[in-house]
Amino acid sequence: MRVLVLGADGYLGWPTALHLSARGFDVGVADNFVRRQWDQELGVDSLVPIAGFHDRIRAWKDVSGKTLEPFVGDLNNYPFVAQMLASFRPDAVVHFAEQRSAPYSMIDRDHAVFTQVNNVVGTLNLLYAMADVVPACHLVKLGSMGEYGTPNIDIEEGFIEITHKGRRDVLPFPKQPGSFYHLSKVHDSHNIMFACRTWGLKSTDLNQGIVYGAETDETALDPRLATRFDYDGVFGTVLNRFCVQAVVKHPLTVYGTGGQTRGMLDVRDTVRCIELACQNPPADGEYRVFNQFTEEFTLTQLAELVKELRPATQIEYLENPRVEAPEHYYHAQHTHLMDLGLVPHLLSDTLLHQVFGVVERHRDRVNLAAIRPAVNWRQAHQLVESAPQRA
């Protein structure tokens, strides 16, 4: 199978490309490197040093003997998208190529507009190019569990059966996104579903939870193959951030009461879920949704797990910069990927010790000023600036 990974220079795109290549897929990798530009904008950097895009590709060939076919360009440039698909002729496109940070989308109007234009227009260009060039191709799109919000009912996998005034239908599950980023994902979902229904495309929308972890089997083979590791208040994911804070003896920054519940999964499960989706495509014209996470935790539970392993760690409850319920019902279905064969890595002391080990090796790169939240949902007009410090 030929698989094109978009956003292949990112935290999840890079290990996904290596995982698929290691399992015998012919893999193309595409990126426009804007994620690296955002580091420059925010004055932060990946905790784990990452090689340049083409250096990574050469390193993978050195280690595995396998070739990744590179494409450099922007999904907002339709001719580039169409030419890339015509050149590579993929059987599946794995789409990570979006601005993926809720805080970044809430900095101010410019960042909100950029996020929605970049994400929605890029995906729309991709849909048109697929319909024009490779209509039999399977789109595997990374969505977000954040599209659903936190309704006071069980969250189904994409669709819900409704009975209303004596009539019954299966409809898309209601969405209550919590940021302009998550709103862009909802718009994507509607556009993709429409394209499948109208043009006969086929797509799997993977509504992913929060990812943790620093390594996969492939990225651990050589330092040049490492994927990025974000811990800052804009792009850092919560458990990775807690592990960094514990290592440098910074209090764990829990937003609000800590009663907010999130779906979580190991980065190794992300790459396996992508593989399973590619190997088991939907029918022509079918739009399907898989909820991609393995466990649910409150923020306080995550902080307590880290504290158990680093007892001297303090937990600091901050005023929540986001607008969300302090505590809420949360139970989401996530059976489809299990039915396809996913055997999840559950959060354990062993995994946390592994992450701590990665952080310890690079602790001199921690920027203390980047750890605390810098964007307030209620006043989304500026990024709070502070002088950088080193641990």
Number of compact structural domains in the chain = 1
The whole-number pLDDT of residue 388 equals: 42
Asked, for residue 77, whether it belongs to a domain, the answer is: yes
Facing residues of 143 across strands? 207
The whole-number pLDDT of residue 341 equals: 98
Asked, for residue 9, whether it belongs to a domain, the answer is: yes
Rounded to 5°, angle at Cα 83 from 194 and 110: 60
Q: How far is CA 90 from CA 138, 139, 294, 349, 386, in A?
A: 9, 10, 29, 40, 45
Nearest Cα neighbor of 119 from 148, 102, 97, 141 is 97
Biggest CA pair distance of the chain: 64
Nearest Cα neighbor of 201 from 260, 139, 153 is 139
Coil vs helix vs strand at 326 = coil
Asked, for residue 170, whether it belongs to a domain, the answer is: yes
Rounded to 5°, angle at Cα 207 from 257 and 155: 65
Supply 329's token pair: 């019902």
Facing residues of 146 across strands? none
CATH code for the domain in which residue 260 is found: 3.40.50.720
Beta carbons of 91 and 4 less than 8 angstroms apart:
no
| Residue 332: DSSP 8-state | B
Find the domain containing 296 and state its range: 2-379
Asked, for residue 217, whether it belongs to a domain, the answer is: yes
> Going residue by residue through the chain (391 aa), what tens digit of pLDDT does each one get?
999 999 999 999 999 999 999 999 999 999 999 999 999 999 999 999 999 999 999 999 999 999 999 999 999 999 999 999 999 999 999 999 999 999 999 999 999 999 999 999 999 999 999 999 999 999 999 999 999 999 999 999 999 999 999 999 999 999 999 999 999 999 999 999 999 999 999 999 999 999 999 999 999 999 999 999 999 999 999 999 999 999 999 999 999 999 999 999 999 999 999 999 999 999 999 999 999 999 999 999 999 999 999 999 999 999 999 999 999 999 999 999 999 999 999 999 988 999 999 999 999 999 999 999 989 999 855 544 443 444 4
Beta carbons of 246 and 310 less than 8 angstroms apart:
yes
Asked, for residue 184, whether it belongs to a domain, the answer is: yes
For the beta carbon of residue 134, count every other beta carbon within 10 angstroms.
22
The contacts of residue 47 (CB under 8 Å, 6+ apart) are 229, 230, 231, 244, 358, 359, 362, 365, 366
Beta carbons of 140 and 1 less than 8 angstroms apart:
no
Asked, for residue 391, whether it belongs to a domain, the answer is: no
- Total-model pTM: 0.96
> What is the DSSP annotation of 236-260?
--HHHHHHHHHHTTPPEEEETTSB-
Asked, for residue 320, whether it belongs to a domain, the answer is: yes
- 344, 202, 180, 233: CA torsion to nearest 10: 30
Supply 44's token pair: 């932060």
Asked, for residue 386, whether it belongs to a domain, the answer is: no
